Structure 1
Amino acid sequence: MTWLTRVFLRPTVAVFAASALLYLVIGCLLAVHAEFMLGDALSRVQSAQGVLFSRDPHLASIGFIFTPMTALVEIPLTAFSPWFPSLTRYAMAGVIMSSAFMAGAAVQIWGIGLDRGVPRWQRVAITVLFAVNPMIVFYGATGMSEAPFVFLMCWCARRLIRWTSTDDVHDLIGAGIALGLAYLTRYDAGFPTLVGAAFVAVVTWRRAQRNRWQTAFLDAVILAAPAALAFFAWAGTSWLLTGQAFAQFSSQYGNTAILDQVGGPAESGTRTFAYSAAELLVLAPALPVLVPVIVVLAVRRRDLEVLVTTLIFGSVLAFQVYSYAAGSTFPFLRFYICVIPLMCVYAFQVFPARGDLHPRRPGVFAVPHAMPPPRLRGVAVAATVLVALCLPVTAIGMESRSLSVQQYAVGALLPFDPQEGTDMDQQLRILESFGTEREMADRLDAMDLPDGSILVDSLYGFAVVAASKYPKRFVLPSDRDFVSILSDPAASDVKYILTVPNSGRGTADAVNRRYPSIYSNGAQISMLELEFPNDGADQPDWRIYRVLTNPDDATEPE
């Protein structure tokens, strides 16, 4: 047996390799074969592309609306896009990124079961059920930030669970690093950081016999410091470069502005809580049965591990429920994805903690796992069966347009689509999103244009730029001279301006803000050259205007 064979026979390597391959294959089928991509994933890939291949390449091209982790990971991948255009054109750089991270999440689920000492059959079963959960597969294959976020939350939960028994500072540091990276992936990580730090402080304070307050404070700082550093570094950098510390919330491109542009939140009041409850039940219908059992067993055993699981994953879910109720976010099923690892870890925790944790340096408050004879095997079997029964429920829920607005269109690619005949046209339009933008990119690529000759805002134009073979031809808001070029395109040798209607989200488009009438009449600076009605759902129609060197030549479009 070769060393390579021995490596791949290791359970963690096998779990990672099998999961990553599954997500990568499905991601290739969705992106390249079906040409289906999610806008946020494609936008991040274009941001990573801009760092290396824009006409003004610099690291700040990743932007400050989204947190930077996914784009930073994708930068090395987009470096190969000149030889493999699919990395950007079809967002395959994002697919590779999310495949690796979601496979890492499956490894962490396996590790939590190993640390707990659950029977091997249950560890294998729950890990497989997690890895093949339709929601996990979808977000492992589509390049979204959910994959790294789920991985980091699972990593944090595992390390903090270990710390409750080992009191090993290495476990506490690991959990803190996971939270810091999670904040750079999604802002949602701020809440579990606060909750986790409070938990660590209370546990340490209760265990310490001397210097309680100092010891508790120090442990809490160890956990929270990486996230605090990420918070101040990211906000400070954003403020220095853009004048806005939290562009996600205050920018014309942020969530608050988007909600205003589309007419405000879809729901309000108590209906938001009912909707969130429905989303949670679609993803984890076993929870109403598992939670009472887990609570009873945890109280009887004085099991802090269950409390860690509840606080880390539960705080993320509570934050999402509150955000939607407050009208500051969208009714997306993916925002509740952390309920899936929560359910899987609960299934492990019906079994008593028996694993040997092998800490690097046990702390003075270390409490080794007890080694009782196996009990509650029937309960463990029942919990595993419940998790298995959740998969078809989740798959059916993802076919619902009302509950799963971002995923349900994929059903049109399946041999037997429950929506067929009722909503097929809308599903096909969603699947065709960005097809018009790729057609525009091909048309522009065929023209013999110099660098910096096409002006467009990346609000909607990211899909055109990502699909183009010549990203240096585009002048984007991330370019440091964008404002001066926008003010006088002709003097800057801009040949064409890409425009969208000045309505809805188009009101935030920088070109529309500078020239409000440009889409309708050229704004006296340009003449209509081409028009592209959009085939994609919720995507704007495009007009390409040719910049006039002599404004007196401007005419109204027919």
Structure 2
Amino acid sequence: MSARGPSTALRWFTCLAAAYGFVGAVLSLRFGYLLGDALSRTYAAQAVLHSRDPHVSAIGFVFTPLTALLQLPVVAFSDLLPAITRWNLSGIAVSAVFMAGAVTTVRGICLDRGCGPVQTTALTLVFAVNPMIVFYGANGMSEAVFLFFLCWTARRLLRWISTDDVHDLLVAGIALALAYLTRYDAVAAIAAAAFLVFGVTLWRRGRPHWREMRRQALLDAVLVAGPGLVAFLVWAAISWIITGQAFAQFSSTYGNAAILAQSGGPTGDPIGNAAYVATAVLALGPAIPLLLPTVAGLSWRRRDLEFLVAPALFGAVLAFQALTYIGGSTFGFLRFFIAAIPLALVGCIQMLSARGAVPSRRPGTFAHSRRRPEAPTDRTRFRRIVAVGTVILSVASLPVTTYVLLQPSLSPQQYALGQVLSRQRSDEAQRIIASFSTERGLADYLDAQGLPDGSVLVDSVYGFAIVAASRHPRQFVVPSDQDFTTVLNDPAEAGVRLMLTVPNTGRGESDALNRRYPTIWENGAEVGSLVVEVPNDGADQPVWRVYRVLGVAD
């Protein structure tokens, strides 16, 4: 069976998806290790189908929608199997499938480059078992989906350099549009891809034809950037029509800017933030400082424009994250720099010159063959040595990434992973692993009350984990319900029996109940009487107070 055969790729994909899904199921079902952003997207998918007021716009507009939308086919069965949302199994299924797709796409890049079967298999495995790749293929976050679309874009642009095939540009553009619907970071990748394609098209014609080629170069740039631009405009328009805010991620009280302000503002100074960025990139791609200059020099000698793709595409995403963090408009999370991993791997792939033909539906004017005559024995031996060297370099990077991943100061979201199997966990690690155990217990408490639909009022700032864990999500009145404001203003009249409240500090300041009744957590604000206070076992999670609405008969 050929290494390029679809059945071989399918086996890789199936095995990896199953492996990532298994790891995710163990972390979730066995240890209760769930991440907030992943669970909130699951809650959004649940709200579309199984809330008290189901509708598509319940998907929310703070995040771009694709990661949550992809969960809908699985979440559709959560009425029959509540564990799907309670343990984020739908999110895990999505991330496992798409991370397997990302790894399979990286393998495709190796094959397109003409790497030998041993080098292809080894580099693919190194990428697949990278601890960041495994963790984010198993936890339901958006990184897996985003990375798949970036790798897909990279593969198509690398092909286009050789094929000049318009189909490669179109597919790359579609992949970038889907990347934007997954993460806002894709804006940088779309811009970088447009400039790259524009420049390559101009360069191919040469300086004497520069003026006449500007139109063709612009058309090529539009082909690759156009779908992303359409996705950007359509999503902003839909958000503005429904919420009155075109970019809720930045302007909403639930958005990133508000969260940053409620969390005490940006941490550190620009110099300290820049140092963290450098550390994060080097942690995930330790070989980048060696690889990029080396491959750039080799590519210059070969007149190989393929080198430009990975630094432009993945580098743009890294630069976007670096600038936003250094500028104090986002958080310093290691996962934001995950694009460094495929950047380093593509550098390893390009250490050797390209060989073999690249598949193409319709080669363009500037398509060129990459077939090489049979190399002499000494040349073959040299290629083998370099191929082994790239594998060793990739393998040597894994301990560095693993070490940084387990450091609390550098990897606050992931370091507890190293203590999952330990019986002597640190207190903070235990709180991270148990982040939503209290919310699951509170959901069980409410489910046991046998409450009718619409009888529990809660905001999704912190309450998403409770709703996602409940067997009866329709008992909750949540912000995506179209009558939420009416119910909030007069819960007794609306038949609400219980209100779930959090302290009016930090992120709790954006909680709708706190904004409507500033003292409700402290004393019930004369609309409720305290039923129970629930201390929280999770890290950065609030103490809950359950109030019974005054004036409502049981």
Q: Aligned partners of 2:308 and 2:535: how far apart in 1?
A: 53
Give the Å deviation of 1:380: 2.4
Instruction: Give the aligned CA root-mean-square deviation in angstroms.
Output: 1.7
The C-alpha deviation readout for 1:231-258, integer Å capped at 9, x for no partner, is 0010000000000000000111111111
SS in 2 for 1:10: helix
Task: Report the residue type matching 1:106 in the other structure.
Answer: V
SS in 1 for 2:541: coil
Q: Aligned partners of 1:322 and 1:527: how far apart in 2?
A: 48
User: Which residue in the other structure is 1:97 paired with?
Assistant: 94
Q: 1:89 to 1:515 in 2, by over 3 A?
A: same
Task: Report the residue type matching 1:396 in the other structure.
Answer: Y
Q: 1:67 to 1:197 in 2, by over 3 A?
A: same
- Give the alignment of 1:274-423 within 5 angstroms: 274-371=275-372, 373=375, 374=380, 375-415=382-422
Aligned residues of 1:487 and 1:514 also touching (Cα < 8 A): yes
Aligned residues of 2:420 and 2:433 also touching (Cα < 8 A): no
Aligned residues of 1:290 and 1:383 also touching (Cα < 8 A): no
Aligned residues of 1:40 and 1:144 also touching (Cα < 8 A): yes
Q: 1:550 to 1:99 in 2, by over 3 A?
A: closer
Give the Å deviation of 1:355: 2.6
User: Which residue in the other structure is 1:494 paired with?
Assistant: 496
Q: Aligned partners of 1:309 and 1:163: how far apart in 2?
A: 13
SS in 1 for 2:479: coil
User: Which residue in the other structure is 2:121 paired with?
Assistant: 124
User: Which residue in the other structure is 1:470 paired with?
Assistant: 472
User: Which residue in the other structure is 1:180 paired with?
Assistant: 177
Task: Report the residue type matching 1:323 in the other structure.
Answer: T
Give the Å deviation of 1:281: 1.4
Task: Report the residue type matching 2:405 in the other structure.
Answer: M
Give the Å deviation of 1:8: 9.8
The C-alpha deviation readout for 1:415-457, integer Å capped at 9, x for no partner, is 5x9xx6xx71110011111100000000100112110010000
Task: Report the residue type matching 1:487 in the other structure.
Answer: N
Larger mean Cα displacement after TM superposition, 107-116 or 385-394: 385-394
TM-score for both structures, normalised by structure 2: 0.95
Give the Å deviation of 1:288: 2.1
The C-alpha deviation readout for 1:275-307, integer Å capped at 9, x for no partner, is 111111111112222222212111111111111
Aligned residues of 1:41 and 1:142 also touching (Cα < 8 A): yes
Q: Aligned partners of 2:369 and 2:61: how far apart in 1?
A: 45
- Structure 1 gaps, min length 5: 552-558
Give the Å deviation of 1:41: 0.3
Task: Report the residue type matching 2:440 in the other structure.
Answer: R
Task: Report the residue type matching 2:239 in the other structure.
Answer: S
TM-score for both structures, normalised by structure 1: 0.95
SS in 1 for 2:500: strand
Aligned residues of 1:7 and 1:13 also touching (Cα < 8 A): no
Q: Aligned partners of 1:269 and 1:217: how far apart in 2?
A: 37
- Structure 2 gaps, min length 5: none
| Match 1:442 to one of 432, 444, 453 | 444
SS in 1 for 2:297: helix
Q: Aligned partners of 1:166 and 1:211: how far apart in 2?
A: 21
Q: 1:112 to 1:7 in 2, by over 3 A?
A: closer
Task: Report the residue type matching 1:390 in the other structure.
Answer: S
User: Which residue in the other structure is 2:217 paired with?
Assistant: 216
User: Which residue in the other structure is 1:556 paired with?
Assistant: none
Q: Aligned partners of 1:8 and 1:189: how far apart in 2?
A: 31
Q: Aligned partners of 1:435 and 1:288: how far apart in 2?
A: 42
Task: Report the residue type matching 1:394 in the other structure.
Answer: T
Task: Report the residue type matching 1:316 in the other structure.
Answer: V
Aligned residues of 2:295 and 2:347 also touching (Cα < 8 A): yes
Query: Among the aligned pairs, what percent are the same residue?
Result: 53
SS in 2 for 1:371: coil
* 1:145 counterpart = 2:142: yes
User: Which residue in the other structure is 1:11 paired with?
Assistant: 8
Larger mean Cα displacement after TM superposition, 292-301 or 177-186: 292-301
| Match 1:63 to one of 47, 60, 65 | 60
* 1:246 counterpart = 2:268: no
Aligned residues of 2:174 and 2:227 also touching (Cα < 8 A): yes
SS in 2 for 1:492: coil
